[in-house]
Amino acid sequence: MSCTKFTVDLHEAEPHSDLKWRYFKFLYLLDPVGEGDEKVGNIQMSSFTGLFYVDWEHVPGDDEFQWRSFDSYEKALKFVRSNILKWWQQYHTFEQDNELDDDNDWGESCLTASERNPFMH
């Protein structure tokens, strides 16, 4: 069994001024496997509580890994950095060739890490 190796180079991007009301920062892995940058998710700040929330890409909204709150941006970012490999292994998706899945109505298909390796858990 082989394992994809990549460098964890997390980049924080400022949202456009039109989106700042909702997003504090966008988070990307910079070209982790040579196929371009991968969006990890974003950090949002509640204007009511002042708490920061991590919103991961490809993680269902009801998953316990999603929507953790922190009292500072630095703590939220530390949580992302310490859990980036878990996110990559369990939630990151890869697109399949469309030829492999002709029944797909969306024209694209993706597999989660769990679907690629059902014995991971």
**Domain interval for residue 73:** 10-116
User: Does residue 1 belong to any structural domain of this protein?
Assistant: no
User: Does residue 43 belong to any structural domain of this protein?
Assistant: yes
Q: Does residue 70 contact residue 76 with C-beta atoms inside 8 Å?
A: yes
User: Does residue 5 belong to any structural domain of this protein?
Assistant: no
pTM of structure: 0.67
CA angle 28, 31, 34 (to 5 degrees): 155
User: Does residue 2 belong to any structural domain of this protein?
Assistant: no
Number of domain units in the chain: 1
User: Does residue 69 belong to any structural domain of this protein?
Assistant: yes
Residue 44 token pair: 């949002």
User: Of all helices (H) and strands (E), which one includes residue 73?
Assistant: helix 73-90
Q: Does residue 15 contact residue 26 with C-beta atoms inside 8 Å?
A: yes
pLDDT value at position 111? Answer: 47
Q: What is the distance, to the nearest Å, from the Cα of residue 30 to the centroid of all Cα atoms in its chain?
A: 13
What backbone torsions phi and psi does residue 86 show, to the nearest 5 degrees? Answer: -60, -45
User: Does residue 25 belong to any structural domain of this protein?
Assistant: yes
Tokens 């859990």 correspond to 83
User: Does residue 3 belong to any structural domain of this protein?
Assistant: no
pLDDT value at position 118? Answer: 44
pLDDT in tens, the chain (121 residues): 455 555 567 888 898 888 888 889 999 987 666 677 778 999 999 989 999 999 999 888 888 888 889 999 999 999 999 998 888 888 877 554 334 444 444 333 454 444 444 443 3
Residue 31 token pair: 């070209």
